[in-house]
Amino acid sequence: GMRRGLVGAQARLAGDKKSRMRAPCTALGAPSLIFLHGISTISFQTWLSQFKQLKDYALPNSSWSQGMMDLYSKFLEMCKDGTWKRIPSYNRTVDHIPGKAGSNEKEQKKTRLFLRSMDAEGVGFEYAMFFNPSEKRMVCLFQPGPYLEGPPGFAHGGSTAAIIDSTVGSCALVVAGRAMTANLSINYRSPIPLGSVVLVDSKVDQVEERKVFLSCEVRSIDGQTLHAEATGKDLAAGFHR
């Protein structure tokens, strides 16, 4: 009931019953905000049409817990007035790059975005990101699945690093247009139970020419437990190398 209602709400928000397959335009709002370069080389319509066949993985599926659904629903609400933007997610890195999305190049068919590498729903990284432009803040709702185990019953530190890197990297990418993580320093404060839901909350603290300085906290939904905190530096270069 709740879940179906939410998916319905999502579809209505996107204004299309096939929103599962094609949410990015509505979700991103103004793509020029996200991608500060390259957009002029192809027509806007062509760029949009490339997303049509792509499956968006940042939408609810049956593996999402009630906690994950509730949080997702809360963030969708906050998207209504434009304060937050839902960020779509694909299973190939190339599909996030304007002008290259939907590419059929042979080599790119074989590669996967690391966090979307597991085909079964719920076993690996289940996550959805939301961006707040005025705060230059990217929040990722993250539900680690059973295949991310490190200590028995808890998420592997590398998986935590991966979700932090991706959230911080996406934040830098949205703010700076291009981004490559140059440095990431993580303090692990409290283990993350598999199947729980945490908030990976990152923001840009400072931009100095090509350097983007970011900080990030991973907390339980109620905010009471600090699981990890990180600082990072992204360089706004190299992504298209």
Residues with active-site annotation: 165
Choices 30-38, 57-65, 180-188, 223-231; region in contact with ligand CO8 by CB under 6 A: 180-188
Kindly state whether residue 238 participates in binding ligand CO8, applying the rule CB under 6 A: yes
Among 180, 186, 207, 221, binds ligand CO8 (CB under 6 A): 180
Among 50, 181, 196, 202, binds ligand CO8 (CB under 6 A): 181
Among 182, 186, 207, 221, binds ligand CO8 (CB under 6 A): 182
Choices 11-19, 101-109, 132-140, 165-173; region in contact with ligand CO8 by CB under 6 A: 165-173
Q: Provide the token pair at 144.
A: 């680690």
Kindly state whether residue 169 participates in binding ligand CO8, applying the rule CB under 6 A: yes
CA dist 139 → 29, 72, 99, 186 (Å): 17, 11, 26, 17
Contact track, ligand CO8, 194-223, x by CB under 6 A: -----------------x------------
Kindly state whether residue 237 participates in binding ligand CO8, applying the rule CB under 6 A: yes
Kindly state whether residue 86 participates in binding ligand CO8, applying the rule CB under 6 A: no
**Looking at beta carbons only, is 27 or 69 nearer to ligand CO8?**
27
Number of residues forming the site for ligand CO8 (CB under 6 A): 16
Binding site for ligand CO8 (CB under 6 A): 93, 96, 165-166, 169-170, 173, 180-183, 211, 233, 235, 237-238
